[in-house]
Amino acid sequence: MTEWNIHPIRLKVIVIGNSGVGKSSLMNRYVNHRFTNMYRSTVGTDFLQKEVNIGGTTIILQIWDTAGTERFQSLGTPLYRGSHCCVLVFDVTSKLSFSALDMWRKEFLIQGDPPDAANFPFIVLGNKTDLNHREVSHKQALQWCEEIGAHYCEGSAKLDDHVENTFIKVAQAGLQQYKKHTLENTGHFQITCKQPRETHNNCEC
């Protein structure tokens, strides 16, 4: 029996993207099964975790929501290090938030410096599909994801549409990354942390 079938595995997941795309909404919908329109912009970072089972392996997803504003990007280097998966979030009603994903991805690779960066798992998530004034088509987003080798999902935090399935894919991708790189390094490095004090968010999705 392998080690990851005996003890829970902690996977670090980073959620990044422009401010207002719904990062906090997606996290709270997935972890706490709640949605509100009253979020305030994340200041610095926010953190939630959830236990899931993937193929008989118990996973503790440690999900970090980073502030989507430039003044907090200096937090990137220590925060991104040791990640097992990165979720790039954009708003399907905002071309600007979609075009910014390439910058966020490159910033993560530079500051996080993951092993085998060319094959690091990215999940791209288009949020707010419940709105009807869409500016980024499914085809356009999918094409970009194919170009960078990322998996594409889209849905709505407000309607709880495809949120659970997306984070299951995140857990699966993170687990593969863990098996490939963490276990082959004898240190078995895992990140553990206590739940920080609640931050106030104001994402308007």
Residues 6+ apart with CB under 8 A from 99: none
Helix ranges restricted to H, the chain: 23-32, 76-80, 95-99, 101-112, 138-148, 163-177
- The pLDDT mean for the chain works out to 84
pLDDT tens figures, 9-60 = 999 999 999 989 999 999 999 999 998 765 555 444 578 999 999 999 999 9
Residue 43: its pLDDT value, please? 43
pLDDT tens figures, 112-126 = 999 899 999 999 999
Residues 6+ apart with CB under 8 A from 83: 12, 13, 14, 108, 112, 114
Domain ranges for the chain = 3-34+50-182
Partnered with residue 202 across adjacent β-strands are 40
pLDDT at 6 > cutoff 80: no
Residue 200: its pLDDT value, please? 46
Residue 189: its pLDDT value, please? 44
Q: How many residues does the chain have?
A: 205
Partnered with residue 22 across adjacent β-strands are none
Superfamily of domain 3-34+50-182: P-loop containing nucleotide triphosphate hydrolases (3.40.50.300)
Residue 192: its pLDDT value, please? 47
**For residues 124-152, b (16+ Cβ closer than 10 Å) or e, as one string?**
bbbbbbeeeeeebeeeebbebbeeeebbb
